[in-house]
Structure 1
Amino acid sequence: MALVHEWFGVTGGSEKVFRRITDLVPHGERFVLWKDPGVAEASLRESWLARTPLRRSKAVALPLMPLAWRTLTRQRFDVVISSSHAFAHTVKIGPEARHLSYVHAPARYLWSPGLDGRGENPLLALPRLMLQSVDVRLSRHVHSYAANSREVQGRIRRYWGRDAVVVNPPVETDYFSSAPAADRAQSRDYLLGVGRWIPYKRFDLIIQIAEAAGLPVVIAGSGPEEVNLRRLAERVTVPVTFEVMPSKDRLRQLYWGAKALLFPVHEDFGIIPVEAQACGTPVIGINRGGLLETVVDGETGILTDSTTPDGFSGLLTRLDDLDENVIRANASRFSEAAFAANFSAWVRHAVV
């Protein structure tokens, strides 16, 4: 068996899922386009792209990724499982291999540029159309697709004309729900934003929501928008605290101390809102994407069509009606055990 993932970063939701897949299929050979500095997994075999300067620019390397996947190795395998959010589902290793593809999302910058600003440049319109054609044509050999959410299942049907089963990704709900007593006793007196500090994650809006609500906010994560976010934080009247790359233990503390997780972004699934709910922390987010599957509106969080600071901040008064026990129970639906059972059932059915 071969296990295939896109480029492999130090952090990220898709990397967490791939690690869990490798746990479930420990005998599989593991391939990636390249791995970023700091990645500890020595068992990941990199493609020839890793030996070129292109590894430093995903955008520039994008057109060559399908070629890299078709020239990955001369080895032959019976079963290939790809973990795809760009072109990994186009990998072809041997003419007889049965290919199963777990899809985090069809490449957003190709198919959904409105959700991901990296593909919105008008100059990219023609290259995007060409790569869309390549994406479909080179993936016809995939025998079975699994989508990480109903949202992604719909996109696979719309863009690729293929059916997919839904296998929600694994979340460490047991870890986040079983916090020490000191973490549980926090006063929940601040708002929280967690994730990569990149434009479409809208951390600027999170800070503005906190200001409109008159509440402190903690911004946890890291990314290229840090300088811009710190400048914005200097201009608002509420305290803004930055937690750069917090440890897992620290992140759990932050979830348990928060009044609510703010999540004003259209995500394909969204592991972070589930982690927050495992800590009994409600989610305030937009009424689209993966939140429709992970948040029960009015019970474990509040969903809104608004994208303005006032629209979000006005929802905070409804949080007192939510029950922490109900919130934590909802998160358990997305546990690692649930993923293991559903993923294994998909593989067994697909390889017959």
Structure 2
Amino acid sequence: MKSIICLKTPVLIMTILALALTSCTKDDLEKGRNDPSTLTQLTTDEATVEDISNEALQDVEGVLSYQGNGLKSTMEIPCNATIDSTSVINDTITIYITYDGLSCNGRRFRTGQVEIRKRVGTRWGMQGASVNVRYRNFSVTRVASGHTIVINSNKTFTNVSGGFIYMLGHNGFTRLIHRVEGAMQVTFGDSTSRTWNVARQRTYTGTRGELIMTTDGFGTSGSYDNLVVWGTNRNSEVFYTQIVQPVVYKAACDWNPVSGIKVHQIPEASKSATITYGFDSNYQPVTGDDCPTHYKVDWVNGTYTGSSFLPLR
């Protein structure tokens, strides 16, 4: 009797261990499939880069407005930055914005340089006026988190409609349209570096103090259109970001997105994330003139789906 019991006990133990190991492997596998972290990271990265780019382009707009008319735009000249426009070679004027300090809102510490090149005689307020904008080791550290992103880029910035931001609401001027397109190399805090394409249209409406910026994507790649950004993420996965409903930003909400829908797609991995803007701290849609604090992410990872809310900035 005892010998039989002793024989069965090791078999029973091995069986339990095998089942436990099988269970762990299955749980780990399902956790991997059910893990939206790469989508969340892509969403956060893209939002951060767009926020930084928007702020830098507002600086460029302010400088070009000042250079063109001796007037400041409503965006103001950048804080803790020097401006040099003495370089003229052949038919090209180069304006340098060199950063070394906090942004005007105190949220970011910026170093590096933004270089603006335009042809002699080009006036930024003219319809269709175009300039070349390059970010050179433009390093931005978020004060609240200490996270740093470095951008190097070469973009074309076009004043589609003509006019200046400070003109909105005066003499029948109701809409200002800008387009920016080109490529940028983004280096993240983990030292990974990726090249992204950008094709963003920004339409300003409203009046001083109550400006509204609406963004759309006009890029195309393969079968994808309405692209605002596309390239590879931190995991070297090819992604495409479309704006399927214009994203609206308000000056009164500290230039946070208040409405609109983006879709991030990683087709080779069967992943996607739909970003819907305009939620409060209770994860409810904002109403009236209330400013949102969160946005919603609805993600798909193979056959797995889920939703989460992330804070703005």
TM-score tier after normalising by the smaller chain length:
under 0.3
Higher RCO structure (Cα 8 Å, ≥6 apart): 1
The structure with the largest strand share of the pair is 2
The structure with the largest alpha-carbon Rg is 2
TM-score normalized with structure 2 length: 0.25
